[in-house]
Amino acid sequence: MVRHMANPLTPDVLVDPVVLTRTLVDIESVSRNEKVIADYVQDVLKQAPHLTSDRHGNTVMARTDLGREQRVVLAGHLDTVPINNNFPSTVVDDLIYGCGASDMKSGVALALHLVATLPDPGYDITFLFYEAEEIDSQYNGLNLVSQEHPEWLLADFAVLLEPTYGVVEAGCQGTLRALIRTSGRRAHTARAWRGVNAIHAAGPVLRRLEDYRPRTVTIDGCTYREGLSAVRIAGGVAGNVVPDECTVEVNLRFAPDRTEKQALEHVHEVFKGFDVELTDSAAGALPGLNAAPAREFLTAVGAEAAAKLGWTDVARFAALGIPALNYGPGDPLLAHAPDEHVEIGKIRDGAATLHRWLAAP
């Protein structure tokens, strides 16, 4: 039996972002099992003479302190969803297949490649490699660090290397879930008129959802498309009982020009006359494309930004007043899929773009 204790993230591997991606995929790191990969990454950071590093749980941080005028964050999560017959990696033509190849070890590879190859960047850089993004936010390393070491996140601009297929996705929409409840009075269905049917009473709730016309909002050239969806409905006591309660769970995805409070007011307005109970919400993030490093980043990429519709960890930076965007080589449509893969060309493009941007100013 042979056990490899040596760090597979060798200088030879770090110098090539494609080889590095594959090597990272081959270090299993399903959420809550990030210790090994965090140890290897921390080891790489400690060996870089231009960085000082620190650790919180399985989240590791390193930063330059070169006295640059502005500081940028490059961040990525180390964990993956559970393996699904897609470990270790395989390569077919110009595609690397494997759990996390898209979401988001190819993004992590871009950052680690910069650690190893860009000792003298034009901005000060903070690298954040964090744990547990794929599970409940109470475990999310970026969330924990934003509470316990908020200074680690401080910067003028942040890039989250989540899969965007090389597109710049700016800001993010907020999300809010609420329960809309109807009530009635139980009765035997043989004497249904003695009761009040709470499921029938939910008809108008569904009608308002059917009739709802979501807004489309453009901010900094990014177009956000809102949506209001029923995601769950439940009601019923027994096969012979007029039910006295029915619950519709709705999910509002809202453009970042609304605050969480305004989003909740909007839901109350849509379901006026009904009992509305907020269950959870998360603020969106404005695209913040007017920050100088953001404009320079867009120039380096050579393309316009698009709106990020899903909620992402960029909102954790936005909450601290730091503009942030998503940019990564993976394809978001392949995230969490059994045939998850990443195009080798997208990894090379991404590495070149980040080098161009960070070397320049």
Residues that bind its own copies (CB under 8 A): 173, 175, 177, 188-193, 197, 199-200, 202-203, 206-207, 209-210, 214, 225, 227-243, 246, 248-249, 251, 253, 309-311
Closest listed residue to residue 355, CA positions, set 125, 200, 195, 145: 125
Instruction: State the minimum distance, in angstroms, from the CB of residue 251 to its own copies.
Output: 5
Cβ pair 314, 290 in contact under 8 A: no
Instruction: State the minimum distance, in angstroms, from the CB of residue 229 to its own copies.
Output: 5
Instruction: State the minimum distance, in angstroms, from the CB of residue 137 to its own copies.
Output: 13
Query: Can 79 be counted among the known catalytic residues?
Result: yes
Q: Which residues contact residue 195 at a Cβ distance below 8 angstroms, ignoring those fewer than 6 apart?
A: 184, 185, 186, 187, 188, 242, 244
Compare residues 139 and 311 and give the one whose CB is closer to its own copies.
Answer: 311
Compare residues 120 and 136 and give the one whose CB is closer to its own copies.
Answer: 136
Q: What's phi and psi for 119, nearest 5 deg?
A: -75, -10
DSSP state, 37? H
Among candidate residues 34, 79, 169, 340, the one labeled active-site is 79
**88 upstream amide cis, omega within 30 of 0:** yes
Compare residues 48 and 196 and give the one whose CB is closer to its own copies.
Answer: 196
Compare residues 87 and 212 and give the one whose CB is closer to its own copies.
Answer: 212
Compare residues 224 and 317 and give the one whose CB is closer to its own copies.
Answer: 224
Q: CA 300, CA 197: separation in Å to the nearest integer?
A: 61
Q: CA 34, CA 139: separation in Å to the nearest integer?
A: 12
Burial class (CB in 10 A: 0-12, 13-18, 19+), 2: exposed
Compare residues 28 and 249 and give the one whose CB is closer to its own copies.
Answer: 249
Among candidate residues 34, 103, 131, 133, the one labeled active-site is 133
Query: Can 133 be counted among the known catalytic residues?
Result: yes
Q: Which residues contact residue 123 at a Cβ distance below 8 angstroms, ignoring those fewer than 6 apart?
A: 68, 69, 70, 71, 72, 156, 293, 358, 361
Total number of residues shown for the chain:
361
Q: CA 243, CA 323: separation in Å to the nearest integer?
A: 49
Q: CA 339, CA 341: separation in Å to the nearest integer?
A: 6
Instruction: State the minimum distance, in angstroms, from the CB of residue 189 to its own copies.
Output: 5
The first and second tokens of residue 100, run together, are 């996390």
Instruction: State the minimum distance, in angstroms, from the CB of residue 283 to its own copies.
Output: 15
Instruction: State the minimum distance, in angstroms, from the CB of residue 195 to its own copies.
Output: 8
Residues identified as active-site: 79, 133
